Amino acid sequence: MKFSSVVLAVFALVSTGLADKTCVPSFDYCSDVLIKDKGFTEADLKDVINGTDVADQPLENVLFHCKNPGIVGHPKACPNGCKDPKQEGSHSCDAT
């Protein structure tokens, strides 16, 4: 395999992988924002909640915490759904 082919293959893997997932550490996010704007997939988020006490919750009722730029965790159940703020920042559970 030529060097240029190897470089292209590595670039393709990096550009389609974790590099696309971004979030601001220490911010909380609703699933819709992570999926629409931050590069995460529904499967990514289901993997995060798998085996937790919120595994049976629909994704729209889960608040995720950004631990590192491409890693979310610490899922929290939002019985009334997740609330998106008007601007970038920490999201919260809807209190209504």
CB 25 within 8 A of CB 69: yes
pLDDT single digits (tens) 37-73: 999 999 999 999 999 999 999 999 999 999 999 999 9
Cα distances (Å, whole numbers) of residue 34 to 3, 7, 28, 39, 66: 36, 30, 10, 6, 10
Whether residue 16 is predicted with pLDDT greater than 90 in this model: the reply is no
Distances (CA, A) of 95 to 39, 45, 79: 27, 23, 9
pLDDT in tens, 29-39: 999 999 999 99
Q: How many CB atoms lie within 10 A of CB 74?
A: 12
Predicted TM-score (pTM) of the model is: 0.76
The domain spans of the chain are 22-93
